[in-house]
Structure 1
Amino acid sequence: MSGNDADPAALRRKRRSWSLDEKRRIVDESLEDGASIAEVARRHDLNANQLFTWRRQFGVELAAPQELAPILPVTITPDATAEYSAPGSIGQMEIVLAEGDRIIVWADVETAALSRVVKALRR
């Protein structure tokens, strides 16, 4: 009998059995801050889809990638006065919140920084 004549069933990968405690531990690991589903799955030699299935089975709500802010009315006005211009910046935007707070940003503003400011003002 040559190596090519091996039983096909013997060549199939053995199916791994996970205890409920092991599943819970891996799901908990996937819920830690900054955890990547793909990395946790790889670390445990597990398919990421299987980890998502376990998370659903344990009642873990799958969060949206990021919370969307409500849509607010916008008014476009002519250029603001030069007193707010930053040297070398091109284009600016003034955001006036319902409470009267104003935010003036330039084209090179970092999205994450602006989001933090808006969230802080909404509190």
Structure 2
Amino acid sequence: MDTTSRVKRRHKVWPEALKREIVAACAVPGASVSMVARQYDVNTNQVFTWRKLYGGVADAAAPQILPVVVTPEQPPLSPPPPAPTADVIEIELPSGYRVRIGSNIKAAALRVVLDALERR
């Protein structure tokens, strides 16, 4: 039986400050993650992991795709109130009622309305 001792692989431990420095180097305009990883002798996938872990400074400035929904323009639910014209008379009664009268109302109909409001 072979008594060869097993060698345990050790992963390199990177100080947090250096990880953040590498992530910041990736955020420089025109920087490539793979080029920065080579400069620091780090695996590119490790740098992507650190970018996610430390907020990915470059990711904040990256364009994002957002959902857009286009709907046809809806007509207003109710017609806008008619604009006052010169053919409108407004009468404010002492009881607090206000009556707006257009030029096309008949005098008899107006008399009925005014009499009814006066009795209130």
TM-score above 0.5: no
TM-score tier after normalising by the smaller chain length: 0.3 to 0.5
